[in-house]
Structure 1
Amino acid sequence: MAIGAGMSCVKYLLFCFNLLFAITGFIILIVGIWVEASSHPYIDLTDENFYTSGPIVLIIVGIIVFIVAFFGCCGAVKENHCMIVTFSVFLLIIFVAELAVGIAGYVKHQDLETSIERHLNATIKNYPTSKDVRDTFDILQTDLQCCGIYGPGDWKNNSIPIPDTCCAGQEIKNGLTVPCTPDSPGFHTAGCLGKLVPFFNDMAVLLGGVGLGIAMVQLLGVIFACCLARSIRNQYETV
């Protein structure tokens, strides 16, 4: 079925947009996987569900994008009203999901420090008795090169010997490992809270930026698809 010159332009714009749409889907998928992998070791340190669900939402959206792009390309080329409407609906749903992730990313990072601080203070005293807590603090102190929550003094305040992970490298004398102390070489003097919060904030800003940025681009796709679908419907009605 032929359509007007103006809508023909929209048709090809929509087709080109779907190629871009597929690329954005790949970007969304990669960002979601990267954030999920990067934040996974520390995800238990905050009770904010956004840092668990946000990356997963982007991963799911990235996969769905390829399916939606197929409907968009086929609908634009064949001028199929049903497929274009289906594309528009899916695209609108994805737009809302990405918009929600984007907004949540910028909102949640404001409450992040309180959440992490509360969790660390509640669990540090269980370091000697809980393997999960010990593993979490050891990974945190090794990866971020930090010690304690606010500083090394947190271990003394909780009557716990300074963990070996507060030192970058352990001294060995007479075949024995020397305990980590403030005088040990490579001793971490910075607290973990001051390093962990910026790490999570960067993740939130990345998720928020990707979600909002790509959502705005996809909104153009919804507009193009609706214009083309309306033109095709009008052509049917005039026949």
Structure 2
Amino acid sequence: MARTVICLRYFLLAYVILLGISGIIVCVGSGVFIYQLKEYSPLTPEGVCGPAILLLVAGLVTCLIGWCGWHVMELTRRIQIICFSLTLAALATVESGTGIWALIKHEEIDTLRTAALETIFAQAITDEKAIWDRMQIRLQCCGIDGPSDYRVTDSVPWSCCDTTSQSDPTTTAAAACTKMYSRGCLHPVTNRTKSIFLHIFLLALCSVLVQVCGVISACFFARGIKEGAERRRQEILQNGQPTVTAKTNQPSSDTEIDSRLVFKPPRPSRTKT
């Protein structure tokens, strides 16, 4: 049993390193998702970054728990192992809710902001023109439903020009645009946003699985510590070793009990020469 506890301890030491790495991965992935959602903000609903932001915070907390877990495993006290497992379980619950929230956003993205498309497009030619230009170049689209949306203006922006069909795209600004992107940006943005929400869900799911493994391992470790302490007490009492003297204050943990049950062998008598 002692070897099992030692193996679990070293396993958990390796696990907290993996937990910290997973927290870093979650933070980086969430940051990328937030950046991508900000790029598509003209055609996405308000609060669309909520799941990604919550997952980013959970990733930072995961890194902190991994750092604290490393010091907890060095002490091997049962109460601290239990607190570590409870904290991991709470974090796994939060990230599970984040994944469910991302799935709900994934299903609601089609029905949001459909009545405000004219107001949204009005900002495309004024305040948010730079954002629209980047989005149209990246997604190879034009307007909301197509180039016809720019009929209210005198010209179509160069970001709608299809430079892939030209022999020298660098001369586009000095020449006439012979071909424009025919599709609008609404459907590509919707599909990209849905894809991001699915990736948020998968990232949260993987992080939850890692945390559940840690909770199970920590519970077995705490159980092994308890059983080992009880077995040592029974062995000491059965072998006729001195018992612990009664004290008014009770021990606070199994570790303190074990330290009081240590039997010191008698010193050998000195013979006179």
Give the TM-score category using the shorter length. Answer: 0.7 to 0.9
| Alignment partner of 1:152 is 2:130 | no
The residue correspondences of 1:15-30 to structure 2 (distance < 5 A) are 15-30=13-28
In structure 2, the residue matched to 1:181 is none
Q: Give unmatched runs, 5+ long, in structure 1.
A: 179-183
Q: Conserved in 1, the CA contact under 8 Å of 2:20 and 2:64? A: no
Structure 1 residues 127, 39: closer, same or farther in 2, change over 3 A? closer
In structure 2, the residue matched to 1:131 is 127
2:189 aligned to which of 185, 189, 196: 196
SS at match of 2:107: coil
The residue correspondences of 1:1-239 to structure 2 (distance < 5 A) are 4-49=2-47, 51-115=48-112, 117-128=114-125, 130-132=126-128, 134-156=129-151, 159-164=152-157, 165-168=159-162, 170=172, 172=174, 184-233=177-226, 235=229, 236=254, 239=258
Give the total of aligned pairs.
223
Structure 1 residues 19, 232: closer, same or farther in 2, change over 3 A? same
Residue identity in the other structure for 2:186: L
| Identity across the alignment (%) | 24
Return the offset for 1:168.
4.2
TM-score (norm 2): 0.71
Residue identity in the other structure for 1:144: L
Return the offset for 1:71.
2.5
SS at match of 2:111: helix
Structure 1 residues 198, 22: closer, same or farther in 2, change over 3 A? same
Q: Conserved in 2, the CA contact under 8 Å of 1:69 and 1:87? A: no
SS at match of 2:112: helix
Structure 1 residues 144, 76: closer, same or farther in 2, change over 3 A? same
Q: Give unmatched runs, 5+ long, in structure 2.
A: 164-171, 230-253, 259-273
TM-score (norm 1): 0.80
Q: Conserved in 1, the CA contact under 8 Å of 2:99 and 2:201? A: yes
Q: Conserved in 2, the CA contact under 8 Å of 1:117 and 1:193? A: no
Return the offset for 1:59.
2.3
Structure 1 residues 161, 101: closer, same or farther in 2, change over 3 A? farther
Task: Tell me whether 30-39 or 107-116 shows the greater mean CA deviation.
Answer: 107-116
Q: Conserved in 1, the CA contact under 8 Å of 2:43 and 2:186? A: no
Structure 1 residues 121, 82: closer, same or farther in 2, change over 3 A? farther
SS at match of 1:172: coil
